[in-house]
Amino acid sequence: MTLLRRMGLPVVALVLVAAVLGIQVANGGGTFEPLQPADPCAERTVTSRADGIDGLTEQLVLLGIDGAACTLGVSREALTLELAQPGTRTDAEIDALREGLLAAVQRMKDDGTLPPASDLLDEALDNADLNGLLEAAIRAIPDSVVNAALKTDDVLTRAIDDLDLRAVLADLDSRDDLDAQIQLAITQAVKDSLTARVRDLL
Amino acid sequence: MRRAVAPLLAVTVALVLADSAVVTLALPDILRHLDASVAQVAWVLIAFNLVLGLTALPAAVVFARSQPRIISAVGIAVFAASSAWCAVAQSIDVLIAARCLQALGGALALVGCLELLVAVYGERRGVAVWVTAGVVGTAVGPFAGGVLTEVFSWQAIFVVQVPFAVLAVPAALAVAASPELVPDRDPPAVRPNLTLALLSAALTAALFLLVLLLVEGWRQSPGIAAVTVSVVPLAALAARPLSRLLRPTHEVEIATGCFLIAGGLAGLAFLPSADLVWTIAPQALVGLGLGLTVDRLTAQAMEMRLPRIRHAGWTISARHLGVVVGLAILTPVFTADLQDAQVPAQEAITALVLDAPLLPEDKISIAEALGDELSQQEGRVPDLSHAFATADLAPEEQPAATRLERDLDAQLERAATWAFRDSFLIGAGLALLALLTVVWPRRRVTR
């Protein structure tokens, strides 16, 4: 009787507490935490819902940020949040971002996921402010000739090299300024690529 | 009127002790309405408990030298007037000042009602009614506060107290009680009062933190949160039958109660999801522990000790200063943890937005809106629904955006739950300290 008075209630309490904690931990009670950022150095498959230049740009940016984050030793998410904040960028960040984007172009080329230049031409011409006659003439060029003259990876590499990433990041809030800068870099890259191609032929 | 006197006095005791935690569920509403910070709003609770804890003992001294019915009536009137003042407060500073005055009136009312209830019912029954009314008030307070906030507003919590307190003033004046002229014979019961203080701190952790987690972290309405935390008083009701069945000694009962509260708080620290169902079992443990300890400890601290009113003052001080200690320890911990949780939460949100199956321009539009929302959070869990409502999305993108919103809310719930973990564990530690004060070997008295 004394034993029951001494131990009955504590034993019931012990069983109840052990049962509650046991069931909770067995159902993930110790690990109900926010999503942990993935390792940016591990290869990630990226896709885009968009087609054409927008889709290509998104894939390059996602892969590029991964590469830059890996170089800087931070998570992709931490770097994205950092770049989204206004302020000056360090040389290390700019260099890492450029290297990341260049590595992304190389990876997509190696994967065979870079679209041929002819796939992007129509959209590029729609966005470009060209003379109507010139635009019609370019559209008339057969795809095989366009693809022989312009390599997507070459144009992208030149555009990334030319791009003032510091200015691009400063203009993240203004989509028009951002588009104008990228447009300018790509136009210049196309010109440079064609010039280099002609020079090679000569 | 004579029949209503004792119930009105008991209701006054319950109201004053309920006020210790009654605003807990209204805190998020007060926070928004009075544009206060989490730390400021915690003072709505701290101020009341601090003043009540500090003035209970001096109030007992005043009662020993004056007419209990007069001082009780004055205390209840001050409590009623300051409750009305709380209801019309337009700033957090005014509300805190009104709460201080409410606690001062409450201290006089609490101590006075003990004397008046003893005069009406006799020593044994009077003390029992006073203790029971206090436990009922403490246990039911958060539930009542949540329901009133949900149905009316946070001001309603204070408004409903006024008529009861106003009616209790003539009730107090109607009792013929004389001052208790007993010399200060017995020293305060240190051990039960210390256990009571530590348990009050732990129970504050259970109620205050759980309510904040439910309303601020998991975005539940005060009404839903009130129904959820009603598990605690319901489980407390089961404590007596369990105790009668197993017939433990008082020490075993109190020690087991402390252990159950610690176990319940540990359970709240390890919740497996943001589903309300998971809070039921840990709360039931806390409620069971509450039912086994608080009234038993209060009775132990006052039993056979004279003057009765002085020892009642000690138990009130112990309980409410315990609440203050609990809040003082826990508020900085969980506000800092909530701040620290912002980084993983923002990173999780960024990851989900980057990988969302949405068009790039929609991702950018949502990211910009989320950025604005997150920058305005000021240490609180943000409400992301506004960001999704303002984002200009094509109808075919809506299902993916809805999925993303749900996933982001789930990440915020995870971050909030994670942020409260350490505070619940500290609460469990306080309950274990209370257990230690019970099982610590007593000094042998040699004669």
CA A193 – CA B83 distance, rounded (Å) = 79
Taking CA atoms, B377 is separated from B32, B232, B331, in Å, by 12, 31, 18
Mean pLDDT rounded to a whole number for chain A: 85
- Across the interface, whether the CB atoms of B267 and A20 are under 8 A apart is answered yes
Nearest to B272 among A16, A32, A34 (CB): A32
For B184-207, the DSSP string reads --S---HHHHHHHHHHHHHHHIII
CA B115 – CA B390 distance, rounded (Å) = 61
> Considering only CB atoms, which chain B residues are within 8 Å of A54?
359-361
Question: Which helix (H) or strand (E) covers residue A13, if one does?
Answer: helix A2-26
Given this model, what pLDDT does residue B293 score?
Answer: 92
Q: By C-alpha distance, which of B331, B143, B130 is closest to B231?
A: B143
Compare all CA atoms of chain B with the CA of A65 and give the residue at the minimum distance. B354
Given this model, what pLDDT does residue A176 score?
Answer: 75
Any A CB within 8 A of B291 CB: no
Q: Give residue ranges of A with CB < 8 Å to any B CB.
A: 4-6, 8-10, 12-14, 16-17, 20-21, 23-25, 27-30, 32-38, 48-50, 54-55, 57-58, 62, 75-78, 80-81, 84, 175
> Considering only CB atoms, which chain B residues are within 8 Å of A58?
360
CA B284 – CA B265 distance, rounded (Å) = 10
Given this model, what pLDDT does residue B97 score?
Answer: 96
Q: Is B254 in contact with B297 (CB distance < 8 Å)?
A: yes
- Provide, for chain A, the percentages of residues in helix, strand and coil under a 3-state DSSP scheme, each rounded to the nearest 5: 75, 0, 25
Compare all CA atoms of chain B with the CA of A45 and give the residue at the minimum distance. B355
Taking CA atoms, B249 is separated from A6, A8, B103, B246, B441, in Å, by 7, 11, 35, 9, 16
Given this model, what pLDDT does residue B284 score?
Answer: 96
Q: Burial of B176 by CB count in 10 Å (0-12 exposed, 13-18 middle, 19+ buried)?
A: exposed
CA A98 – CA A103 distance, rounded (Å) = 9
A27 within a domain of the structure (yes/no) = no
Angstroms from A49 CA to nearest CA on chain B: 5
Angstroms from A127 CA to nearest CA on chain B: 16
Interface ipTM > 0.95: no
Given this model, what pLDDT does residue A17 score?
Answer: 97
Q: By C-alpha distance, which of A109, A111, A80 is closest to A97?
A: A80
Q: Is A38 in contact with A44 (CB distance < 8 Å)?
A: yes
A57 within a domain of the structure (yes/no) = yes
Sign of the CA dihedral running B107, B111, B112, B114: positive
What dihedral do alpha carbons B218, B220, B222, B227 form, nearest 10°?
Answer: -100
CA B86 – CA B424 distance, rounded (Å) = 30
∠ CA A200-A191-A160, nearest 5°, is 100
Hey, of B249, B260, B422, which one would you mutate to test binding to chain A, going by the most A CBs within 10 A of its CB?
Answer: B260
Nearest to A34 among B267, B281, B415 (CB): B415
Question: Which helix (H) or strand (E) covers residue B145, if one does?
Answer: helix B123-151
Residues of chain B with pLDDT under 70: 1-2, 179-182, 377-380, 443-447
CA B121 – CA B128 distance, rounded (Å) = 10
CA B436 – CA A157 distance, rounded (Å) = 70
User: How many CB atoms are located within 10 Å of the residue B329 CB?
Assistant: 18
A131 within a domain of the structure (yes/no) = yes
Any A CB within 8 A of B170 CB: no
Q: Is B215 in contact with B416 (CB distance < 8 Å)?
A: no
Taking CA atoms, B274 is separated from A23, A48, B140, B214, B335, in Å, by 15, 32, 24, 9, 19
Any A CB within 8 A of B227 CB: no
What is the crossing angle of helices A152-162 and A91-111, to 10°? 180
- Across the interface, whether the CB atoms of A75 and B347 are under 8 A apart is answered yes
Which residues lie below 8 Å from residue A93, measured CB to CB, with a gap of 6+? A68, A72, A79, A82, A83
pLDDT, tens digit (0-9, with 9 covering 90-100), for A71-120: 999 999 999 988 888 888 899 999 999 999 999 999 999 988 888 888 88
Residues of chain A with pLDDT under 50: none
Domain encompassing residue A145:
52-201
A20 within a domain of the structure (yes/no) = no
- Across the interface, whether the CB atoms of A33 and B252 are under 8 A apart is answered no
Query: What tokens appear for B32 in the block?
Result: 């928004």
CA A172 – CA A111 distance, rounded (Å) = 29
Given this model, what pLDDT does residue B377 score?
Answer: 64
A143 within a domain of the structure (yes/no) = yes
Residue B219 falls in which region: left (phi positive, over 0), alpha (psi -120 to 50) or beta: left
Which residues lie below 8 Å from residue B59, measured CB to CB, with a gap of 6+? B71, B75, B107, B108, B110, B111, B112, B313
CA B408 – CA B385 distance, rounded (Å) = 10
A29 within a domain of the structure (yes/no) = no
CA B28 – CA B444 distance, rounded (Å) = 50
- Across the interface, whether the CB atoms of A34 and B411 are under 8 A apart is answered yes
Amino acid type, B1: M
A25 within a domain of the structure (yes/no) = no
For B345-392, the DSSP string reads HHHHHHHHHHTSSS-HHHHHHHHHHHHHHHHT-TTS---THHHHHHS-
Angstroms from A106 CA to nearest CA on chain B: 21
Q: By C-alpha distance, which of A160, A155, A125, A162 is closest to A140?
A: A125
A79 within a domain of the structure (yes/no) = yes
